Structure 1
Amino acid sequence: MVSPRLMRLTFLIAGMVIGGAFLVWAGDILSPFIVALMLAYLCDPLTTRFEKFGIPRGVGSILVVALLVLLFLGALSVLGPIVYGQLQSLIKILPSLIDRVMDGIRTEIMPYIALPSAETGRPAGSGSLNFAAPLASSVLSGGLMVLPKIGLALLTPVILYYLLRDWPKLVTTIYASVPDGRRQKSHEIVAEVDHILSGFLRGQAWVCVTVAIVYASGLMLSGLEYGLVIGIFAGFMKYLPYIGTAIALVLAGMTGVAQEGATLALFGGVAATFIVAEGIESSILTPRLVGERVDVPPAMVIFAVLMGGKLLGVLGVFLGVPIFAILRLIVREVMAPDPVKLQD
């Protein structure tokens, strides 16, 4: 006879396979709903607070959505042109930047490595140029692919409003659908899920935003070109433990090497910025805002981020870790031993 635990595991695996296939098939359509659901979870406490002050929940939901839209448009109007200009310039210098780094490796490092020289008759750096030029063109032209998705993006505030307005009803309906005998256990699981989501979505989001501000401010004060773009990139790469910081540091170093008139003070400022940002993040922000609530090993974080990006694109990069943590929690509950029944 098949054990109940094996049956539960089989159904869970089948559900995960079907769910993954559905995400691949309907990822673009689901994006505004997932973003709205995530924002509704983050903003529900604010909407509830408005309600406690006597503001009807529908009106409070409108106020929250309007506030988010104004913040987004304000940030876009102030930072958008600067970020776009720096990003465009950075992409344009990417071929020469790669060439200079490769030339430095070829002249300073390769003579000490006992490898046979491979003369191909190409000018120095032409390989990287042939690689980087199509890459830059691809990145710039890829921006046009965003236009068809604007319509779906405009749905996000509308969906967010309805989710915020009906959030208590949704929670009550979900709890009511659970059988009485499993309601207590379901409540415990939901509490753990809330613990994970609040630790990651709320905590890690604040960590990334704060560290991005520190990085951008420090790099710009150091005199690094494209410091704003690299700083924002470095902040949000904190989702990838160790690797994200390493990639951002290499990018900042390469940009400094390619910058005209670079001095030791510039590189000292860049190094100091990364040291200070890492110190603030590891000793203050993460312990207080995230703590051990997510508790996913670094290797699994990288796997979850890459898998999330494969299934849902950029959105999956940000949601991969909490989804992985929740799935691990569900698997743990499914594989828990069945309670022993006492015989009379």
Structure 2
Amino acid sequence: MRERRLRTGVRLTELGFGAAQLGNLYRRTTDQDAHDAVDAAWDAGIRYFDTAPHYGLGLSERRLGAALAGRPRDEYVLSTKVGRVLVPTPDRAHLRDDDGFDVPARFRREWDFTRDGVLRSLEASLDRLGTDRVDVVYLHDPDAHWEQASTSGIDALVELRDQGVVSAVGAGMNQAAMLARLVRESDVDVVMCAGRFTLVDGTALTGLLPAALDRGVSVVAAAVYNSGLLAGPRPLPDVRYDYEQAPADLIAHVHRIADVAERFGCTVPELAAQYTLRHAAVASVVLGMRTAAHVTTNAARMAREVPDELWEELDRLGLVPGLDGAPGGEQDSTQNGATHD
């Protein structure tokens, strides 16, 4: 599998393993399914794995660490996130988590982007992962905590990077505007943008991506299926977009994309998986994977050859956000840390 290199030298496979579902996102996943998914990812050539304490109150980190145990540590890249410190709540262990994960409420999430909070969070993550280092650390969803995250939070991460404790730092969010500001004003290496650069959402094209190219910062694209809207060959009437019911006009728009894709023997999910990698700033696409079957499907979508004529037709019809005509691999990679290997 092809890799793209961040400006600090970290190499990300173009397809990354998103481990939120290993934390029982929305429903339970077995330990065996989680382990099998990671094994399948390794067999498929995936070497970038992303997790966070938020995912299942640490369950995702524990499962991912266990599944990667015994793998050569220098052969894969591991990222996690800081900003939510897990505080034990044994009195609530009989309850279920109320933040989207089917796990016991043994901990509560406490927002903390102070230097101490960042260090405590990372230390706990290392313990759960069973490793002595992670390669990339993101500030996690600092939307309502900009002042603290953009000062003490990012300063702590930069300090860790400069000390050689981690190899690259940045932030992950479900918006583009604040990420663009962070790229312009801070010494970050990579940002994870969820849902704002997809086949139907070009929000990141007007601020974040130009800033990233200008500053040599790489972008990891996540949530490229937009909560399910782009996950199937044709969207169903009750499909969701950004966690809510998708509007009828947007569903109709995706059907028009599907009409074009099918003429070229391709599907909407294949286009959604590959679209963001056509931009020079993007280093990797992280897709959520719960089972080995999910891994196989996503890897096949990334490997599918999409003819240039299909992208040109979609662009001509104005059905996808424009990328100024040039795939990322054909642009000058010296503009950005995401060089192509």
The TM-score bracket by the shorter chain reads under 0.3
Structure with the largest fraction of strand = 2
Larger Rg: 1
TM-score, normalisation: structure 1:
0.23
